[in-house]
Structures are given as C-alpha cells and as structure tokens.
Structure 1
C-alpha cells in the first residue's frame, strides 16, 4: 500500500491496525557505548564485540554490535515511533528472526514495520492480536534483522 512515517498517537487501537501498511521509524546511530553497555548488561563480552585487535582479524574487519542488540534496537525504534505505545498490552512472541548483516560502530539504523495479520483475542474480548513484520536497515538500506512480532493490543473502549 505504501510507506509512511509513523505519527505517534493515542488512537493506535486494534481496530486501526491496517494490514499491508508499512511505517518507518526515526533513525539512530549505533555508538561504541551502546555495544559496551549491552555487553555489560547481558554478560556477552565476546571479543568480537569488545576487542578491536581481535575483531580486525575477523571477516568483519572490526567490532560489531551484538545480534541481540540489533534486535533490541529494532524493537526500541518501533516503540520510539509510538507504535502501540498506549494501546499495547503485552508482547506475545517473536518468530522467524533472521540476522542478515552486521552493524558496526557509527552505522545509522532505522526500522520499518508492516502489519501482516490481526485477529480477535479468544481469551480477551477487550483486545486483539496483531502480527507485524519488522525489519532493521542500515543507512545504505541494507537489511540487518528481520522477523515477526505478535502483540496483544487494546480494542477501542465502548
């Protein structure tokens, strides 16, 4: 249907989720601090993420961000755009996660998402289930991470 920047609003109810519409988020530049903090928080201090000398000897030619950091950045950018910020109830799961390319210090990334499925919740009459296909791209448009996220979203009251 087309690509549009996402305009955050409080009217992001289940009923308003349109299948096939793609939105893009603001962008963000990945810093050395991001990689160091993520490693410290998670305990993933692999040399590929922490040692310039080691990382230069790999096929990447330098330090890269953790794959899980990239997944987190992708989700965070969608949240930053306001998607389901006031109507989301719970994240139910991620499926078909693929890591396509690395992110290096200084790369700028942006996410885009497309609603691909929605249905009423069987257990929550006040909510529905929405599945979004989400992708993280770098400043050159290269696909970094892709996957699908399933979320429980509030229906419009009344």
Structure 2
C-alpha cells in the first residue's frame, strides 16, 4: 500500500525486506560501473587485506538499500523526486553472503517554502547486516506531493 502525505508523521518507523548480497550482484555492479577494484573482485587479494575477504561496493549496498526502501511503492502515490542525501557514512563492510536490511524513520516532514502543494520528507536511515551492525547510515530527502492523489491510480 502506498502512503500519502497525510499518512506520514514524525518518528514513524519502517523496515525493508532483507536481501543477501551475492557474487552475481558484485560482478554485475562492477560491469555496470567499471569498478573492478581487487577488494571486490579478487579473493586472494582481498583475503590478505583488512577485511579478510571480498566485500561489496559501498555504492552497490547504497543502491540496493534505496530500492529496498522505496522500490516497493511505499510512496508511489505522492513521490515527486529524490532530493539527495546528507550525513551519509559508510560504517562497516558488507561481505559476499551478508544479508542487509534498511531501517528508516521519518526525521523531518515539512511543507515546501517555494513549491505549492509540495512537502519535504527526510528519512533517518540505517542499513544493517544480519548481525544487526550498522554498515551505512545517513539521511535521505524526498519531494512529495501534499495533495491527495486517488489511491490505486
């Protein structure tokens, strides 16, 4: 079910489904971005490094998390645009085989000062692994319509 502006309130909490990061995910992301860094692609190189093995690209994890938050249609009836991120931190590594989940809450909700019938929603976001450790965190802001759109459009 898609939420609309009137359904949202400060402090409202959400959590996504989970997703396990696979070899195929990392290889496909490397191919799409051209980032073939050995820490992502070479087990022998990565095993000798700080992480003890290959890790997923930080931006791969961030991209998946964005889709896990919003790709299921949570705000489909009112989302206008993704405005950006702030205070984003990469706090831990994600190894191949790790499972991530996104926990997010409404941290700010206000009407736009410059655009009629628009509001700004800011989520406080944590991406956690299967052990509950926060691997990335920060804030994501979206522009929403404050007008009631018919449900099921």
TM-score by length of 2: 0.92
Residue of structure 1 aligned with 2:53, choices 62, 65, 74: 62
SS of 2:49's equivalent in the other structure is coil
Q: Alpha-carbon deviation of 1:122? A: 2.2
Aligned residue in 2 for 1:94: 85
Q: What secondary structure, in the 3-state scheme, does the structure 1 residue paired with 2:115 have?
A: coil
Q: How far is the alpha carbon of 1:30 from its aligned partner?
A: 0.5
| Residue equivalent to 1:5 | none
TM alignment of 1:48-87, pairs within 5 A: 48-87=39-78
Where does 1:21-60 land on structure 2 (aligned, <5 Å)? 21-60=12-51
Q: Extract structure 1 runs of 4+ deviating beyond 3 A.
A: none
The answer as to whether partners of 2:91 and 2:134 remain within 8 angstroms in 1 is: yes
How far, CA to CA, are the matches of 1:81 and 1:24 in structure 2? 12
Per the TM alignment, residue 18 of structure 1 is displaced from its structure 2 partner at its CA by 1.1
Contact 1:74 1:135 in 2 (8 A): no
The superposition leaves residues 107-133 of structure 1 with CA deviations (integer Å, 9 ceiling, x where unpaired) of 111001100111111232121111101
Is 2:86 the partner of 1:109? no
Question: Aligned equivalents of 2:94 and 2:73: distance in 1?
Answer: 24
In structure 1, the partner of 2:145 is: 154
Q: Say whether 1:122 aligns with 2:113.
A: yes
Q: Which runs of 5+ in 1 are unaligned?
A: 1-8
- 10, 19, 23: which one pairs with 2:10? 19
Q: Is 1:136 paired with 2:124? A: no
CA distance in 1, matches of 2:86, 2:148: 30
Q: CA deviation at 1:103?
A: 0.6
Give the alignment's Cα RMSD to 1 decimal: 1.3
Whole-Å Cα distance in 2 between the matches of residues 145 and 70 of structure 1? Answer: 9
Aligned residues: 149
* SS of residue in 2 equivalent to 1:101: coil
